[in-house]
Structure 1
Amino acid sequence: MRHMASVERTAYPRFKRTVSSRELHESFTPGPSEVAWAQGKARSAEHVLALVVLLKSYQKLGYCPDLAEVPELVVGHVRGLLGLGEDVAPTHDSARTLRHHRTVVRERLGVVYDQEKAREIAAAAIYEAVQTKDNPADLINVALEELVKARLELPGYTTLDEMAAAIRTKVNEDFFARVVSRMDEVEQVRLLALLRVVAGSRSKFDEVKRPAKAPTVSHLREHLTYLDSLELLGPTVKWLDGVPPGKVEHFAGQAKMLDAAEMSKVGMVKRLALLASLLHMAKVRARDELVTMLCKRMGSVTKKAKEDLEKIRERHRAESERLLAVLGEVLEAAKDAVGFDGESVTLPTSARKRNQVHAECGEAVLGRLEKASGLAKLSEDHELVSAHHGDNYAPLMRRHFRSHRKVLLDLTEVLEMVATSTDDEALRAVEFCQAMRHRGSEWVPVTYTVTDEDGVEKTSTVTAGFASQMWQRILFDKRRPKLINRRHFEVCTLSYLVQELRTGDVAVIGSESYANLHDQLLSWEACRPLVAGYCEQAGLPATAAAFTVALKQQLTAVAAKVDAGYPDNADLTIDAASGKIVLTPRKGKDRRKSAQDLEAEILKRLPEWSLLDVLARTAYWIQWWRHFGPASGSDPKIRDKLARYVLTVFCYGTNAGPAQVARHMRQKVSVHELSLAGNQHITAEKLNMASADVIDMFIQLDVAHVWGDVGKAGIDGSQYDTWENNLLAESHIRYGGFGGLSLRHVSDTYIALFSHFIPCGVWEAVYLFEGLLKNESEVTVDIVHGDTQGQSLPVFGLAHMLGVQLLPRIRNWKDLTFYRVSSTVKYQHIDPLFGDPEKDVINWRLIENHFEDLMRVVLSIREGKLSSAALLRRLGNESRRNRIYQAYRELGRVIRTIVLLRFLSEPGLRESIQAMTNKVEAFHKFSNWLMFASDVLQDNDPVHQEKIIKFNELLANCLIFHTAQDITKVVNDLVDEGWEVDPVDLATVTPYITSKIRRFGTWHLDMEPPEQEAMGRLRMAA
């Protein structure tokens, strides 16, 4: 029996359970011409109403619904606008009248009712999409998009669902058969053995799915063995050749969500194909994890060496001071001997007397040196202190590397690495280390011999040209020509290899996060037809020359404006003589007493809720749970889906876990039921879509009315824009619902969802942008706020190319470089802000020459070809060879300089950035309050960790929405009672209210006397 895909998880248009007043106004309000048209096509009031309702419904849905399906709220809204009485109902006297009405509606809207053609177009679209996509809901959405483009009336949902299922099954079966046909019988048996469960132990199937552990030496060895065991299971690259990567990932995802018993119930061919896909993705993940472990271990070695250097310096500090004292005594003795008068030395004119003075000086100096413990001892002490006087920690790394040496060299031998440019010096150094790893001597020849795969020997000479002078001093010795220090060279090579892997200058074959960037980027030929449309959407010039000119003009204009406005800038002070720059902070505005009184009254009247009740109510209103379900995309087969998913979100969103929630629930629910829903039915992507539903509900609730009411209050849009804590405005009072949410506030709240678990710096910013690109809500985000660490130059460049303003918190602006338009440009007032005119100048030629590279990156991201992890390393680690990094860094210099100039000259911008940062921090605090069971993520699996955070975000969003609704009702009551509610005061009321929420539910103390029984006593055996 086939289970159809739930209509709620697709974009198939349908009437929602709740219709907001904004939606009624925007989607179901007929214009004068539409009313006149309907009155010309129908005679009776009932037919006019029916015709208008059909017209507006078709415009909303894309097909003609049955009038019985139209919500009474919509019918009543249209009836009122037409001036008809309550007794008038939309009806058709006959099937003929209904057909006539549907025909004239289609004619007016210019759409065609041709079900055969619609099925043909839908089938073609689904067949093309199923080559890379697998979720039935996604396939139906692709068909809907093509049908809308073709101006065809949509067929029924069941038709599309059956079509998608049939095509998907046929294509997938072809893929499965192709994969299995490439396996021999032994390989099939080996794969099926993974599902065998031996009594008292787990299957090897579970072992394939396990993530890496902490990057200790023992875990590194264990993970290398793990990768070897995966490789022995079969050549997955050969099996899966020709299967699109997206399909492989989806097949692997299906297998990962099943246990061994469930996999054994799947058909044999499909079972083998799913196992092959899972095995392949496990290999990819294992390589990624091994490289990450290598990077972390070498980072730890470097850190410990630096700590050792600091300890040595501390120990030698007293010795350094003693040597300086000796030097002072020697200088005093020399000055006395030569008669130094404090300014100059006057030596005798005769050679004999000069020699006598020199002799006396030397004798005095030697005497002081001898008194200070002797020349030999002082020389030894000086050599010891000098060895660690600089910042050269390289000699100290070897002692910490020694315990890691074998496993790290084994790792570089197992992983197949390639250089992404013509410079492969680091890889040749790795080859040398492998060739010399079993030598016992510390100094080895720089010439070595290796044997290639064909058995041919080749002789090469290693160089350390990539190494810094710090390393060069300990790698080579003038007394040992043509020899190199093998032990130090191994540490040096792996240190630089890690840097090359992070920048992407070295790639790992068969990896995903460390794959070759150029293999993931779209070609320029594929990008060229997309550039114009993307640039128009992002607000960018579409040619290299125009792009560069626009940037140059923008930086020139902003700098000139700030320079001209400096005399009127009361906050900024620049002392031209000393170069001292001071930006005086402004005092924040105090809340008005009326706002405080309003908030106090609201808090007093707000009802108390249990957290579970809040989740259940929002789930019923918004149906955010509709996105959850099996990986196959079919409708869930669990009983009472809504309740199960509500409990699951509570279980993981509070980080209580299935065991504790099942134990404390009065209703009967098992640990397995909660675990199954959390692990098999819900992914991070589905949680994103659920959160987007909650956010979209805000957008639908009367935002259009806010601007009208604010205008009536005498407040212009720019003022309204500054009230960024606004969740409610006068529209709540006048129009009901939960309207008035600031669009910008929604955007920033949504951005906050992606920053909880992300480390600071470029990682945070890039994942923020990835979140924006995967934004499932209707909110269009054009401003991104981040913390101070988000000031990386390439990230500013990426933000600009994505059409987004990056406005991070700026604390250390004095330490940042302001770049000039050209070396000849000088400014009357603000010139001290800018860097060196000869060095800190924008390289406009670099930006123009690499415009294609800039566009290839953003278009590849948009098309889903480039992983964020691969991009991260290129933007987060400086590379002297990576032209993409260099281009984005140069673009970032332009954009960051513009932002810094605006920051210094626009008090409103500074206030806005601070307000947004405070808001995000408040959201973090609020969501952490909801994770009351534990704020520690126990599971080491990063996928599971991300899901826990997403569960918590969904929980927080639901509570914010529910609180906004309660505030709306309270404010409406206050207005009815005669309160004067000022929108300015209302805008300061925060939705992050915890005092009215019972996180732990309601406890009941039973004081009924227990049954009478003897008190137990433990009896011990004699």
Structure 2
Amino acid sequence: MAWLESFGNLDVIFDGIVDTKIRHFAAQAAASDVAELKDCSLPKRYTLMLALIYRMRVRTRDHLAEMFIRRISTIHKRAKEELEHIQARQRQKLEQLAATLDGVVQILVHEPDDQEAGSLIREYLSPDGNLERLRETCAEVQATGGNNYLPLIWKHFRSHRSLLFRLSHLLQLEPTTQDRSLVQALQLIQDSENLHREWIDEHVDLSFASERWVKVVRRPASEGPPTNRRYLEVCVFSYLANELRSGDMCVQGTESFADYRKQLLPWEECLQRLPAYCEKMELPGTAKEFVASLKTQLEETAQQLDDKFPSCRGDVSINEAGEPVLRRVTARDIPPSAISLQTALMQRMPARHVLDIMANIEHWIQFTRHFGPMSGNEPKLKEPAERYLMTIFAMGCNLGPSQAARHLAGNVTPHMLSYTNRRHLSLEKLDKANRELVELYLQLDLPKLWGDGKAVAADGTQFDFYDDNLLAGYHFRYRKMGAVAYRHVANNYIAVFQHFIPPGIWEAIYVIEGLLKADLSVEADTVYSDTQGQSATVFAFTHLLGINLMPRIRNWRDLVMCRPDRGAAYKHINRLFTDTADWHLIETHWQDLMQVALSIQAGKISSPMLLRKLGSYSRRNKLYHAAQALGSVIRTIFLLNWIGSRELRQEVTANTNKIESYNGFSKWLSFGGDVIAENDPDEQQKRLRYNDMVASSVILQNTVDMMRILQKLAREGWQFSDEDVSFLSPYLTSNVKRFGEFNLKLNRPPEPWIKDSVFQQAAGSIRTGKLGTAETEEMT
């Protein structure tokens, strides 16, 4: 970082230049070698190199801030684990103390005389007259009997102290509010960094710290210097990490840790957009109307459930603890006609190799035309389309260049594949090609019987990674290291969004991003998810953005459900509610909430970054509390509908099962290995795009083959209905060959079906169709 900073202030040079253009220049520089840069004119060469340095600075600061947060989290985790180990070791001492207490009780039971009992107890507790050992045991158990691990944290912090101080000096930390108490405390510990004494005379404003922290940092002035320097350092760094997460603290010159308030649309501009936006999203246009409408909706939903609750006895009941108990949802029965159709279909499916499938899709729509040098020039590769397909296959099936080159026919070397990956296939180009495959799929008739594409299921699945990178982490569900592949899969089975995220991040923060970045002709407005795909904050902003969030929540009974007002009482469901909606808070901050929603919709701010910050507890951020209040109301309405509708529960379960099937299908195609062997963040994201591109190609080929077989079966007199077809799925694998010699022959004649008018029309519609907004913006 110090070396990058030595190039001077580059912010002045790039001030006013669109960020997408800086990113493009930086990507071009990163993909070029020395010889290629020398071939550029001097102004262009300097522009590319400075753009790369500028982007590397931003990324490095982001990574350093993330490392700071992770290191603090690890320190706290280790202190907690030590406390647990101590408590486990002290169980024997607890048993001894319990036995001692039982002995005292036995004396009192058998000896009615108090004076004699006291004498016997003294003799029992200290036969040698020394009670000090017993007192020490009691004090030790009391000190570690609760969950306060802070007194143990210094030893785990000490070995990382130097690194954390270096990070605090490198990063330009600034509060995003008027409260500067934490920054002042940081300045104090930086000034005292080289001191060796444990206690210092300075009085520190600890208004930002909890009472538990204050107890370990301070002591009475009568005992000496009042502030423990060691624990003050740990305290300040811990709260810095917390406030970086919540957005109460920002880092200058970053993206992920920038002050999000400065990225919002000005309210004057929001006022101009507000009427049209509210009309489109069917939202009231003022704070009072918004609250009144939402309150009415909550009242009506609660009353409807209360009225029909007796008729739902077979599906839902309230136990003695006041908790609703729902009957397990059963799947739809598959009719025998659908099973027969599936069997006949599988018997007729043609067998193809993965590479042959990709060649067919290339013959069909030439999707490799999106790839090429970062400079935008024509590729100078020999037979570029073949090279691109081989690279997609090698990376998408997780073979890697070396393993794939051993099995590919012809004179293919690992360097040829890795060079093509680095120089010709960027993240943006892969997204563009993936989008075209999805658009092609949406033009076909068969997927429309499976779903309209206006609803998606969101979920993550674990991938193994190398341990030493910022994306990898320990996943508490899978009990191993790796990262999470977060995807959106449409209700017609195709993946429309994909992104690798660290295991510690709540998946829900990418719900909005996935819908906004899909950029398809069919816009999804409903998201099915599991527990990780929801939170109060996400419920709030999906509602404001016109998105219907429908999660399958584990342990949903533990969530807070809000009644419309304190006086609202219900005959059957009154015990469901544990809180009251805070309408005043929602109305007061309606303008702030709408400003955020409009900024996200306009693309001025990253929704994952914002939701990550607003999803972390903040003692000072009123927007956080307002989003929590609004989200609790929206989630309560959803849960009331969830409890009262078996059909809704079946719908959510069926659609979340689709993405679980897709995850299994895509991993079946990633047969080259279980580990993503990359540490570069962009290359890691590219691997997921490659995998989904291979999966989309196979889905397209399976769908085409199924359409042709269904037409043939109909001509042969088979009787089947649209309902029978709706039970089919394009995730077929028995007809797909993965192994053997990989022989790509793109110069062979296209298969006859490609010239069929139905498939030519589908291809033509995406070639001449309207470009997505992202592609249009890039061209302009």
TM over 0.5: yes
CA distance in 2: counterparts of 1:372 and 1:912, whole angstroms: 73
Amino acid at match of 2:718: W
Shift of 1:691: 2.1
* Unmatched runs of 5 consecutive residues or more in structure 1: 1-226, 340-356, 447-460, 708-716, 725-743, 1005-1022
The one-letter code matched in structure 2 to 1:597 is S
One of 686, 693, 708 as aligned partner of 1:947: 686
The one-letter amino acid of 1:477's match is R
Q: 2: CA distance between counterparts of 1:745 and 1:502?
A: 29
- Structure 1 residues 427 and 376, CA gap change in structure 2 (3 angstroms): same
In 2: Cα distance, 1:761 partner to 1:404 partner? 21
Deviation at 1:578, TM superposition (A): 4.6
Please state how far the C-alpha of 1:932 moved relative to its aligned partner. Answer: 0.7
8 A contact 2:448–2:492 mirrored in 1: no
1:961 to 2:703 alignment = no
Correspondent of 1:312 among 81, 86, 89:
86
Counterpart code for 1:806:
L
Partner of 1:988: 727
The 3-state SS of whatever aligns with 2:40 is coil
Question: For 1:407, which of 160, 163, 176 is the aligned residue?
Answer: 163
Determine the C-alpha separation between the residues in 1 that align with 2:245 and 2:698.
40
Q: TM-score, normalised by structure 2?
A: 0.86
Q: Deviations over 1:38-67 (max 9, x none)?
A: xxxxxxxxxxxxxxxxxxxxxxxxxxxxxx
> Pick from 266, 272, 285: which aligns with 2:59?
285
How far off its partner does 1:483 sit? 1.7
Unpaired segments ≥5 residues, structure 2: 458-487, 744-780
- CA shift, 1:546, in A, is 2.0
Q: Which moved more, 1:422-431 or 1:286-295?
A: 422-431
Query: Is the 8 Å Cα contact of residues 426 and 493 (structure 1) preserved in structure 2?
Result: yes
The offset of 1:631, in angstroms, is 2.8
Partner of 1:468: 210
Q: Which has the larger radius of gyration?
A: 1
User: Hey, what does 1:592 align to over in structure 2?
Assistant: 335
What's the counterpart of residue 758 of structure 1? 501
In 1, the alpha carbon distance for the partners of 2:553 and 2:358 equals 37
Corresponding position of 2:417: 674
Structure with the bigger RCO (C-alpha within 8 Å, sep 6+) is: 2
Choose the corresponding residue for 2:294, options 530, 548, 551.
Answer: 551
Question: Partners in 1 of 2:554 and 2:27 — Cα distance?
Answer: 43
The residue type paired with residue 134 of structure 2 is L
Question: 1:967 Cα shift?
Answer: 0.8
3-state SS in 1 of match to 2:159 = helix
Equivalent AA in structure 1 for residue 580 of structure 2: V
Match of 1:254 in 2: 28
Structure 2 residue 122 is matched with structure 1 residue 380 = no
Q: Is the 8 A contact 1:502 1:874 kept in 2?
A: yes
Is the alpha carbon distance of 1:369 and 1:745 closer, same or farther for their aligned partners in structure 2, counting shifts above 3 Å? Answer: closer
* 1:21 counterpart residue number: none
Aligned twin of 2:190: 434
2: CA distance between counterparts of 1:682 and 1:704? 29
**Cα deviation, residue 834, structure 1:** 1.1
**1:795 has 2:534 as partner:** no
Distance 2:377 2:493 in 1: 32
> CA separation of 1:648/1:540 partners in 2, compared to 1, >3 Å: closer, same or farther?
farther
The 3-state SS of whatever aligns with 2:93 is helix
The answer to whether the aligner puts 1:915 opposite 2:654 as a matched pair is: yes
CA distance in 2, matches of 1:722, 1:644: 36
| 2:563 partner SS | coil
How far the C-alpha of 1:703 sits from its partner, in A, is 7.3
- 533 and 639 in structure 1: CA distance in 2 versus 1, 3 angstrom threshold: farther
Instruction: Give the aligned residue type for 1:303.
Output: K
CA shift in 2, pair 1:931/1:706, >3 Å: closer
Q: In structure 2, what is the Cα distance between the partners aligned to 1:258 and 1:271?
A: 11
Q: Measure, in 2, the Cα distance between the counterparts of 1:999 and 1:302.
A: 46
Asked if the contact 1:762/1:876 (under 8 Å) is kept, the reply is no
- 2:560 matched to which residue of 1? 817
Q: Distance in 2 between matches of 1:747 and 1:988?
A: 12
Matched, 1:609 2:352: yes
| Alpha-carbon distance between aligned partners in 2 of 1:748 and 1:984, rounded to the nearest angstrom | 14
In structure 2, what residue type is equivalent to 1:936? V
What are the Cα deviations for residues 138-166 of structure 1, in whole angstroms up to 9, with x where unaligned? xxxxxxxxxxxxxxxxxxxxxxxxxxxxx
C-alpha spacing 1:816/1:705, structure 2 compared with 1 (3 Å): closer
Q: In the alignment, residue 351 of structure 2 is paired with which amino acid?
A: E
Give the CA deviation at 1:857: 1.6
Q: State the SS of the aligned residue for 1:784.
A: strand
Q: Which amino acid aligns with 1:628?
A: F
CA offsets, 1:874-913, max 9 Å, x none? Answer: 1331112122222221111011111111111111111111
| Paired letter, 2:726 | A
Percent identity between the aligned chains? 39
What is the aligned residue count?
A: 712
Which amino acid is the alignment partner of residue 125 of structure 2? L
Q: Output aligned runs, 1:195-206, within 5 Å.
A: none
Residue from 253, 272, 278 that aligns with 1:529 = 272
Relative to structure 1, the CA distance from residue 619 to residue 886 in structure 2 (aligned partners, 3 Å threshold; closer, same or farther) is: farther
Task: Give how far 1:950 is off.
Answer: 0.9
> Aligned AA for 2:206?
A
**Cα contact 1:923–1:992 (8 A) shared by 2:** yes
> Which one of the candidate residues 969, 973, 977 is aligned to 2:716?
977
Q: Secondary structure at 1:379's aligned position in 2?
A: helix
Whether 1:781 aligns to 2:524 is: yes
Distance between the aligned counterparts of 1:635 and 1:816, measured in 2? 57
What CA RMSD, in Å, does the superposition of the two structures yield over aligned residues? Answer: 2.6
Q: Tell me by how many angstroms 1:575 deviates.
A: 4.2
User: 1:102-140 CA deviation, whole Å, 9 max, x = no partner?
Assistant: xxxxxxxxxxxxxxxxxxxxxxxxxxxxxxxxxxxxxxx
Q: Note closer, same or farther for the CA distance 1:723–1:942 as it changes in structure 2 (3 Å cut).
A: closer
Bigger drift between 657-666 and 482-491 goes to 657-666
- Aligned-pair distance for 1:359? 3.9
1:322 paired with 2:66, answer no
Secondary structure of 1:774's match?
A: helix
Given candidates 362, 368, 384, the residue that maps to 2:118 is 362
Determine the structure 2 residue equivalent to 1:582: 325
Q: How does 1:158-177 map to 2 (within 5 A)?
A: none
Q: Is the 8 A contact 1:747 1:779 kept in 2?
A: no
Indicate if the aligned counterparts of 2:455 and 2:490 stay in contact, CA closer than 8 A: no
TM-score (norm 1): 0.67
Which residue of structure 1 lines up, in the alignment, with residue 73 of structure 2?
Answer: 299
Partners of 2:127 and 2:498 in 1: how far apart? 68
Counterpart residue number, 1:999: 738
CA–CA distance in 2 between the matches of 1:594 and 1:963? 21
Distance 1:677 1:576, change over 3 A: closer
Q: Secondary structure at the match of 1:566?
A: helix
Is residue 696 from structure 1 mapped to residue 439 from structure 2 by the alignment?
A: yes
Query: Offset at 1:403?
Result: 0.8
2:614 — aligned with what?
A: 875
Moved more, 374-383 or 920-929: 374-383
Q: For residue 694 of structure 1, what is the amino acid of its counterpart?
A: L
> What is the Cα deviation at residue 336 of structure 1?
4.9
Q: What's the counterpart of residue 17 of structure 2?
A: 243
Deviations 1:221-253 (A, max 9, x none): xxxxxx011111332223333434333222222
Counterpart in 1 of 2:107?
A: 333
Q: Kindly tell me: are residues 690 and 260 of structure 1, through their superposed partners in 2, closer, same or farther at Cα, counting changes over 3 Å?
A: same
Helix, strand or coil at the partner of 2:612: helix
Match status 1:848 vs 2:587: yes
Query: Which residue is equivalent to 2:769?
Result: none
- Please tell me the residue identity of whatever aligns with 1:362: G
Cα deviation, residue 705, structure 1: 8.9
Q: 1:256 corresponds to which letter in structure 2?
A: A
